[in-house]
Amino acid sequence: MSKIYDISQTIRSGIPVWPGDTEFSLKRTWQIEPDCPVNVSEMTMSTHTGTHADARLHFDNQGIDSAATPLEAYIGTAYVLDISAEVTDLVKPEHLGALPERIERVLFKLFPSFPHDGWDPNFPAISPEAIVFLQQRGCILIGTDVPSLDHQDSKELNAHFAVDKAEMAILEGLVLDGIPEGFYELIALPLKIEGADGSPLRAILRTLS
- The CA distance from 22 to 4, in Å, is 31
- The CA distance from 132 to 137, in Å, is 9
Please identify every residue annotated as catalytic: 58
Q: Is 173 left (phi over 0), alpha (psi -120 to 50) or beta?
A: left
Question: Does the structure show a pLDDT above 90 at 200?
Answer: yes
Residue 106's pLDDT band, with cuts at 50, 70 and 90, is very high
What does the pLDDT look like over 160-186, one tens digit per residue?
A: 999 999 999 999 999 999 999 999 999
Pick the closest to residue 143 from 101, 108, 190 (CA basis): 108
What does the pLDDT look like over 119-175, one tens digit per residue?
A: 999 999 999 999 999 999 999 999 999 999 999 999 999 999 999 999 999 999 999
Contacts of 206 (CB under 8 A, 6+ apart): 2, 3, 4, 5, 184, 185, 187
- The CA distance from 109 to 104, in Å, is 17
pLDDT of residue 209: 78
What does the pLDDT look like over 15-54, one tens digit per residue?
A: 999 999 999 999 999 999 999 999 999 999 999 999 999 9
- CATH hierarchy code of domain 4-8+47-206: 3.50.30.50
pLDDT of residue 203: 98
Q: Torsion angle of alpha carbons 72, 148, 106, 131, nearest 10°?
A: 100
The rounded mean pLDDT for the chain is 97
Residue 1's pLDDT band, with cuts at 50, 70 and 90, is confident
With beta carbons less than 8 A apart as the criterion, state whether 62 and 171 touch: no
Contacts of 58 (CB under 8 A, 6+ apart): 48, 160, 197, 198
